[in-house]
Chain A
Amino acid sequence: MSEKLYLYPVWVRIWHVLNALLFLVLLVSGLSMQYSNPNVPLLPFNVAVTSHNIAGLGLFLLYLCFLVLFVFTSNRKHYKIELKGLPARLIMQMRYYAFGVFRGEQAPFPTQEEAKFNPLQQVTYVVVLFVLYPLLIITGLPLMFPEVIIDNFFGIGGTLLTALLHASAGFLASLFLVIHLYFATMGASFFSNFKSIINGYHEAH
């Protein structure tokens, strides 16, 4: 019988599910606006705009909640990257995903109560949560109020630049979503990690 660790407190699970739902709404509505087509609308344009704005504000507020809880709970320890020896640990983890996993090797950094993320997850989540999310928010909020955006930024239209950055960050976030979903299938069983984020208990291999 596999060992179970309580890794995901209630607030993390609520934040995660709300984050996922809002992100999906943003992804679908964002794609619908960016690739709007009168003949084949993914969503009606006005629905896409309204839902994107509401979900965007929701995600912003949720992110603020996350930051507060991040600061005031012990959860932040999982995001503290030990820089010393990091490249070597990242290479080990990547090697495991690329080869070791097919040879039935043990994961080099198994999930523990004190370190629920492996080095690659840790770096990815830090980049997503503290670089990509702020970028999405910083570029997304002004696009809701485009009159605040400067007209010209070193010869490039301010709105264009903001929109390009926003769409690019959104694209990278969507790549993360796909990767995140796939790697979630690499738990003790195909669905064990999905169950974990619902019941809070991580099932070890």
Chain B
Amino acid sequence: MLGLVAYVEGQDIADNSQCLKCHGQVFYEYPNEWTGQTDRKPLNPFHHIDSVKLHTSVHKMFACIDCHSMDYETFPHSGELRLEEKYQCMDCHGGDETFAKFNFEGIEAAFMESVHYKASDERFNCWMCHDAHGYELALRQDKPIVEVVNMSNNMCLSCHDNKFKYGLLSDDEPKSINEIHAWLPNQARHFNKVRCIDCHTKVQSDILISHNILPKEEALRNCVQCHSTNSVLMESLYAHRAKESRAESGFLNAVVLNEGYIIGANRNQTLNYVSIGLFGLLVVGLIIHFMLRIIMIKRK
């Protein structure tokens, strides 16, 4: 673990205004000593930092130079700084009891099994999905599921729907998400209510969010794996909230009902029993009626 960063609950937001003067803008300005004029240039979009997201992110208490070289304090930045080796999640989060509940070791092991890691070797790193400058906890902060899904899916779409970022790892262009999921009924509804990773990862009980992204051939395509009482969503998207028991509301997988409804997975036990009882009574009644009719006919 690095010595210069420490996780302190409730710590204030770090003052990064000097860096954000340029990196928080779409265009930045600087005095050009050679020409004596003020130059205005577009900032490389890959180097742009959303200052609002930064100040609400889990890393808001860190100064830029806690993770980046102190040499960045000099402008213009030295060209050599682009060769700077960046820290990875495990450099800070690995082997620390403070983060034990996140099981970063389990996340790393799962990630190393993933198609992302295997297909690109070590070129794929945490930052390709997780924006270190804007990462928020969603599930653990009990944000609405729609928001959780949106945040999670935007991570995937930031590459899979962006040919520039996708191009960092592949010569191909990303395929249209809508076209490759054309088989999925109610596509828009699924995209809003379920995360990509709910079908594209292998569920693991030891980590909250599975990081073992599967090859596309192994993604879930069997509807009943979600649309049944043993819905896998209870072990993934709703795992954190699945404390609510069926006894509380009478529904199976009731936790879903706070924000949605999954046919096949949400059933009301009372209504089930009532309907079975009514149907049974009807059938028994009709059988008795029928038998009495037969007896009457025979007596005639």
* A interface residues with partner B (beta carbon < 8 Å): 33-38, 41, 45-46, 49-50, 97, 101-104, 146-147, 151, 157, 159-160, 163-164, 167-168, 171, 174-175, 178-179, 182, 185-186
Assess whether B189 is in contact with A38, with CB atoms less than 8 Å apart.
no
Give me the 10 closest cross-chain CB pairs, A-B, nearest first.
A45-B223, A36-B264, A159-B261, A38-B224, A160-B261, A182-B286, A36-B224, A36-B228, A102-B296, A45-B224
Given A175-B278, A179-B286 in contact, is the A160-B266 Cβ separation under 8 Å? yes
Return A89 CB to nearest CB of chain B, in Å: 21
Which of B259, B286, B290, B292 has a CB less than 8 Å from the CB of A178?
B286
Task: Determine whether B186 belongs to the interface, using a CB cutoff of 8 Å to chain A.
Answer: yes
Task: Determine whether B2 belongs to the interface, using a CB cutoff of 8 Å to chain A.
Answer: no
Which of A36, A160, A167 has a CB less than 8 Å from the CB of B257?
A160
Interface residues of B in 213-250 (CB under 8 A from A): 222-225, 227-230
Find chain B residues with CB under 8 A from A34 CB.
Answer: 263-264, 267
Assess whether B227 is in contact with A33, with CB atoms less than 8 Å apart.
yes
Assess whether B263 is in contact with A33, with CB atoms less than 8 Å apart.
yes
Find chain A residues with CB under 8 A from B260 CB.
Answer: 157, 159
Task: Determine whether B56 belongs to the interface, using a CB cutoff of 8 Å to chain A.
Answer: no
Assess whether A37 is in contact with B224, with CB atoms less than 8 Å apart.
yes
Within the assembled complex, what's the spacing in Å between the Cα atoms of A69 and B48? 66
Chain A residues touching B, majority SS: helix
Assess whether B228 is in contact with A38, with CB atoms less than 8 Å apart.
yes
Offer 14 A-B interface pairs, CB within 8 angstroms, sorted by A: A36-B224, A37-B224, A41-B224, A45-B223, A45-B227, A147-B189, A157-B259, A157-B261, A160-B261, A160-B266, A163-B263, A163-B266, A174-B279, A179-B282
Given A157-B257, A157-B259, A179-B282 in contact, is the A102-B264 Cβ separation under 8 Å? no
Within the assembled complex, what's the spacing in Å between the Cα atoms of A73 and B230? 51
| Chain B, Cβ-Cβ closest to A101 | B293
Assess whether A49 is in contact with B261, with CB atoms less than 8 Å apart.
no
* B interface residues with partner A (beta carbon < 8 Å): 185-186, 188-189, 222-225, 227-230, 257-261, 263-264, 266-268, 271, 275, 278-279, 282-283, 286, 289-290, 292-293, 295-296, 300
Return A84 CB to nearest CB of chain B, in Å: 30
Find chain A residues with CB under 8 A from B295 CB.
Answer: 102
Find chain B residues with CB under 8 A from A163 CB.
Answer: 261, 263, 266
Return B146 CB to nearest CB of chain A, in Å: 9
Given A36-B224, A46-B185 in contact, is the A164-B279 Cβ separation under 8 Å? no
Find chain A residues with CB under 8 A from B185 CB.
Answer: 46, 49-50
Return B199 CB to nearest CB of chain A, in Å: 14
Find chain B residues with CB under 8 A from A174 CB.
Answer: 279
Within the assembled complex, what's the spacing in Å between the Cα atoms of A33 and B185? 14
| Chain B, Cβ-Cβ closest to A49 | B185
Return B170 CB to nearest CB of chain A, in Å: 31
Return B201 CB to nearest CB of chain A, in Å: 19
| Chain B, Cβ-Cβ closest to A50 | B185
Find chain B residues with CB under 8 A from A49 CB.
Answer: 185, 223
Q: Chain B CB within 10 Å — which of A34, A38, A164 has the most?
A: A38
Q: Chain A CB within 10 Å — which of B224, B289, B292, B300 has the most?
A: B224
Within the assembled complex, what's the spacing in Å between the Cα atoms of A178 and B283? 8
| Chain B, Cβ-Cβ closest to A144 | B186
Find chain A residues with CB under 8 A from B286 CB.
Answer: 178-179, 182
Find chain B residues with CB under 8 A from A171 CB.
Answer: 275, 279
| Chain A, Cβ-Cβ closest to B265 | A36
Within the assembled complex, what's the spacing in Å between the Cα atoms of A155 and B108? 41
Find chain B residues with CB under 8 A from A37 CB.
Answer: 224, 228-229
Assess whether A168 is in contact with B271, with CB atoms less than 8 Å apart.
yes
Find chain B residues with CB under 8 A from A168 CB.
Answer: 271
Within the assembled complex, what's the spacing in Å between the Cα atoms of A103 and B300? 10
